[in-house]
Chains A and B, each alone.
Chain A
Amino acid sequence: MTGAVRPLLIWLAILTTTGTLNAIWTGDLIQTATFAAAVLAVGTLVLFQVLANPDALRRGAPGARGAETIVRASAAAALAAIGLSTLVVGVVFGHFLIDFGAAVLIVGLTRLVLERRAQHAAERAAAQRRAGAEASPRVAGRAGGAPTGEVP
């Protein structure tokens, strides 16, 4: 992750410059707001990267990654998307689709949370095993419908 956000910061700096130029030159509130929204969107992404790993700001090459669990499939993600879409279309066609979409969305999101928890549990167990501590061999099983595997 080292150095990842430096080019993004340059990108943001150029965008801020053109946005500022626009604000000075045109004085148009809507245009300034759109520039600000774009800076905010990409800036948020950069901020998350830096908070997740301060090395993102440092110059240099990334090192080797540790072990991690691999998610091979997720019915929950697809369900959440289909639920949200059904809900949105329900705005045109009526309450049944809104209710149905909301229900599918809730099921999808709940399963997503379960998948994430299972993944974190598998990662913790793998980390313990690597550290030589007693660890459960039942790592990386099927959890919440998402088969996971472990990457050495």
Chain B
Amino acid sequence: MRLISTDHKTIGINLGVLSLFYFLLGGLFALLMRSQLAEPNNQLLSNGTYDELFTMHGSTMIFLFVTPMALALALYLIPLQIGARTLSAPRAALCGFWLWVCGGLVMQSGWFTASGPGQDGWTSYTPLSTGSYTPGVGQDLWVLGVLLAILGMILIAICIAVTVARRRAPGMTMMRLPVFSWTALVSVLMVIGAFPMMVLVMALLYVDRLGAHIFTGFAGAVDYEDLFWFFGHPVVYVMFFPYLGAAAEAIAVGAHKRWFGYTAFVASMLAFSVLSMSVWGHHMFVTGGVTNQYFAFTSTLLLVPAGIEYFDLVGTLVGGSIVPRCAFLFGITFFIQFLIGGLSGIFLASPVLDYNAYGSYIVVAHFHYTLFAGSIFGFFAGVYHWFPKLTGRLLREGLGRVHLGLLIVGTNLTFLPMFFLGSDGMARRIARYPTHPGWAGLNQLETAGAGLIALAVAVFLLNVVVSLRRPRLAGPDPWLGHTLEWATSSPPPALNFTEPLPPIRSYAPLLDLREAADAAAAADPSDPVPVP
């Protein structure tokens, strides 16, 4: 029954748990790759297997973990945050979930074919991915699996957008949507705007592989990249914004202060999301097939909304009564780690500098600081923040801090040396590198870092198991939350709310109630008002 439930919470949890499984699978692929790269001229994996691993690592993480996990968070939380009892068009959301499940299975089923799974990178550039250069069923399954998974995510995104439009509680204007809901909303807009292009591209690529020669020659290759990156760059932000929202909620609640500069934040999210759909050509600077000035200009413009978010972060922290729980610490770390990815992105937005960095480990370092650090720390901030809401149980803070420490060390040990290796000329997507002064040591550091990340994830899983088997009950609102999901029981009942909702006068209605109670108590200390 759970698998055909149309309850948004059940679909969200199903999607989230399956995504987490894919996170572990993608992580396993990464560990194998790092083992291969631990020594120069290592013979652990063949070139072909390494190609398959980096392709499936990237594809699994992007199509089957980070993006769907962001949608899973939105599916679970948005109806609760906007005071809705259900999702709009829940059957479509369920259909989307199953399309995504089937897409994932189809993509991974390539491992059981003679030709192996997809092996052309998550970008699957033409002409490499055409039937002439990558024959075999595995690549076909990759193409069709991606198509199905993307189709499923589009359906889910439409449901989320319509839910925000139609099911907000009385009083919940758009400018009173919680911060997370805004970040998720702009993300689903990007999914609706950009993801259909990927469905088209995969369909065309499949037809091309059948011999239609759609993406032929230089123009065909550039056209493919144009269409692919129109999806490929926005998806990076779909994998970022909801986690930014999760980190922002965790920080605001941890600081016992409402998120600073809400209106500017909303405006910056709108601008940020649209701009991020207008910068894709910076992935194609070296092709000579795009107008570099336009894309350099729009890419650099991204600094403005990003700066507003950091300004809001600082504004939230200043004057706050900070309680540094795990969710808060993960949230802060998210912003710090992402900063490294963001700042290195400024250099890559410059065509002149990008010409030198393209194809090197500098790019790998940059996108792992934005994608891994910029998603995972926000994801874990969200997990530590909302786990009590999902389960009614608290995660262990001690284990959470060990998890955080290991993840910080592991992340930086893995990805920071990539900047040095890249600037020294080490190319990405190679299974073997020659003996070169310094390269072996830095690669061994990265491999050790990957091991630490795996250990950190193991500690997190242990924390989940311990917290579920020896529960410490959370109650409906363990953190003194700001938003409506904390106004119901943990876990929430079938239709989300059994009690009438509190009046909604801002994006932090529960904080409003507490502040009103504090003000009343201060005005008349002899007649204290009970704090909800």
- Please give the residue numbers on chain A whose beta carbons come within 8 Å of chain B beta carbons, in ascending order: 1-8, 10-11, 14-15, 18-19, 21-22, 25-26, 28, 30-31, 34-35, 37-39, 41-42, 45, 49, 52-53, 56, 60-65, 70-78, 80-82, 84-86, 88-89, 91-93, 112, 115, 151
Query: Which of B99-107, B254-262, B313-321, B338-346 faces chain A?
Result: B99-107
Which residues does chain A contribute within 8 Å of B161, judged by CB atoms? 45
Closest to A70 in B: B86
B196 in contact with A74 (CB, 8 Å): no
- Cα separation A42 to B99 with both chains bound (whole Å): 21
- The residues of A that contact B277 with a CB separation of less than 8 Å are 15, 18, 38
B270 touching A28, Cβ below 8 Å = no
**Can you list the 9 inter-chain pairs with the closest CB atoms, starting with the nearest?**
A85-B102, A81-B98, A4-B165, A38-B193, A26-B291, A18-B278, A77-B91, A14-B274, A77-B95
Known contacts A26-B291, A34-B226: A3-B173 contact under CB 8 Å: yes
A80 contact set on B, CB distance < 8 A:
95
Nearest Cβ on chain A to B174's Cβ, whole angstroms: 5
B298 contacts the other chain (CB 8 A): yes
CB <8 Å contact, A34 and B197: yes
The smallest C-beta distance from A48 to any residue of chain B, in angstroms, reads 8
Looking at the complex, which one of B98, B141, B278 makes contact with A77 (CB distance below 8 Å)?
B98
Contact present for A49 and B227 (CB under 8 Å): no
CA A52 – CA B167 in complex, angstroms? 13
Contact A14 to B271, CB < 8 A, known contacts A26-B290, A73-B6, A81-B102: yes
Q: Are A37 and B206 in contact (CB under 8 A)?
A: no
Total number of residue pairs linking A and B with CB closer than 8 Å: 177
CA A10 – CA B185 in complex, angstroms?
13
Q: Is A75 touching B495 in the complex (CB atoms < 8 A)?
A: no
When the two chains form the complex, which single residue of B91, B98, B164, B281 contacts A82, counting CB atoms closer than 8 Å?
Answer: B98
Residues of B within 8 A of A42 (CB): 189, 192-193
* Known interface pairs A21-B294, A42-B192, A85-B99; A11-B186 also in contact (CB < 8 Å): yes
The answer to whether B4 touches A78 (Cβ under 8 A) is yes
Binds A, one of B123-131, B144-152, B415-423: B144-152
Whether the pair A77, B227 counts as a contact (CB closer than 8 A) is no
Measured in the bound complex, the distance between the Cα atoms of B226 and A22 in whole Å is: 13
A18 in contact with B99 (CB, 8 Å): no
Residue of A nearest to B147 (CB): A88
